[in-house]
Structure 1
Amino acid sequence: MAISLSKGQKVDLTKSNPGLTNITVGVGWDTNKYDGGQDFDLDSSIFLLNTTGKCENEKDFVFFNNLEGGNGSVVHTGDNLTGEGDGDDEQVKINLANVPTSVDKIAFTITIHDAEQRSQNFGQVSNSYVRIINDANGEELIRYDLGEDFSIETAVVVGELYRHGSEWKFNAIGSGYQGGLGSLVKDYGLQA
């Protein structure tokens, strides 16, 4: 049974699941009734961070236009343009054993595409979550439901996988940002 996390909670991933190597990180969301005449397009983006919390280069930024990072250890399965339907809206496959040692953290974010131009924000999004699945058996190991704590934000850092010695842990962050993907890219040390 999955461990359900609260904001700010940290949990062991590999220590409590010996032999865990291949995982899928799934993110999902629903949009509230919205009469702005524009589609909602939410995107998951992944930042591979060094010990200073920055990306070494553009290859450490995995998103709909760069589906692979970390020498192939992190693979985004593709962009979902509508978020309609049940289950994960977007997924990332990770081989923990092959993540380069220079990567200390893997940050998972959700942003709203063209949010400012479309007058959209996370106050219009509900049922956002991130979950981690063991690829070997399909078991959901960790789930973090973000709740409805957002209003004007256009980007959310949902959580981070991070190294703790030889183990991997997960931190449920749920921190909102204004400025969309551009502000996250700058904060993580890349050019917007």
Structure 2
Amino acid sequence: MSINLSKGQRIDLTKTNPGLTKAIVGLGWDTNRYHGGHDFDLDASAFLTDANNRVVQDVDFIFYNNLIHPSGAVEHTGDNRTGEGEGDDEQIKINFSKVPSHIERIAITVTIHDAEARSQNFGQVSNAFVRVVDEQTENEILRFDLGEDFSVETAVVICELYRHNGDWKFNAIGSGFAGGLASLCRNFGLEV
């Protein structure tokens, strides 16, 4: 049975789901009526950070141009450029047993590609969600619906998965940023 979370809630993943080693983080969204002449291209990314919430190496940033972490711990399944259809629009697979020891947190984010040039923002996005699925059983463990809290933001830190006393936990964040992907990269210590 899936648990619905609210912004700011934290939940155990591996302790309450014994045997969970592979998870799918599914992200989905719809766009509101928009007559700007461009499709909305939302992009999921994962920032693998140390205890200080900083990305140590460029390979610890998983996105549409770097789909698989060298360890095999995190894999982006590919870019969906329109968000059409039901269910997950993009997915990130995580193998907890392969996460390198220097990684303490995996921040999952969504940005709008070329948001400024296309005059797009998250105020025009609705029904955004993240869900975590046990890859082995295909059971949904949790779901976090973002709500309609955004206006001019072009990037959102959706959630983070983090280590705590040897187990992995989930934190529903839902925090918006202006400045798109470049702003997020700087936030996590990457140079753009």
Q: Determine if the TM-score, normalized by the shorter chain, exceeds 0.5.
A: yes
Q: Which residue pairs with 1:103 in the alignment?
A: 103
Distance 2:78 2:37 in 1: 25
Distance 1:134 1:170 in 2: 13
SS at 2:83 equivalent: coil
Could you report, residue by residue, the CA deviation over 1:57-90 in whole angstroms, capped at 9, with x for unpaired residues?
1100000000011511100000000000000000
Could you report, residue by residue, the CA deviation over 1:86-118 in whole angstroms, capped at 9, with x for unpaired residues?
000000111101101100000000000000000
SS at 1:71 equivalent: coil
Residues 35-46 of structure 1 mapped to structure 2, 5 A cutoff: 35-46=35-46
Tell me if 1:74 matches 2:66: no
Distance 2:76 2:39 in 1: 22
Contact 1:68–1:75, Cα closer than 8 Å, also in 2 = yes
Residues 98-177 of structure 1 mapped to structure 2, 5 A cutoff: 98-177=98-177
Contact 1:70–1:100, Cα closer than 8 Å, also in 2 = no
Q: CA deviation at 1:122?
A: 0.2
Q: CA deviation at 1:39?
A: 1.1
Could you report, residue by residue, the CA deviation over 1:10-63 in whole angstroms, capped at 9, with x for unpaired residues?
000011001110110000000001001111100001000001100011100000
Divergent runs of 4+, >2 A: none
SS at 2:71 equivalent: helix
Q: Which letter does structure 2 place at the counterpart of 1:79?
A: D
Tell me if 1:47 matches 2:35: no
TM-score by length of 1: 0.99
SS at 1:75 equivalent: strand
Contact 1:70–1:99, Cα closer than 8 Å, also in 2 = no
> How many pairs are equivalent?
192
Q: Which letter does structure 1 place at the counterpart of 2:152?
A: I
Distance 2:117 2:57 in 1: 28
Distance 1:191 1:84 in 2: 32
SS at 1:185 equivalent: helix
Structure 1 unaligned segments of length 5 or more: list them: none
**Mean CA deviation greater in 172-181 or 68-77:** 68-77
Q: Which residue pairs with 1:185 in the alignment?
A: 185
Same amino acid, percent of matched pairs: 61
Q: Which residue pairs with 2:6 in the alignment?
A: 6
Distance 1:93 1:37 in 2: 33
Tell me if 1:20 matches 2:16: no
Structure 2 unaligned segments of length 5 or more: list them: none
- Superposed CA RMSD in Å reads 0.6
Q: CA deviation at 1:129?
A: 0.5
Distance 2:69 2:147 in 1: 29
SS at 1:27 equivalent: strand
TM-score by length of 2: 0.99
Distance 2:101 2:30 in 1: 35
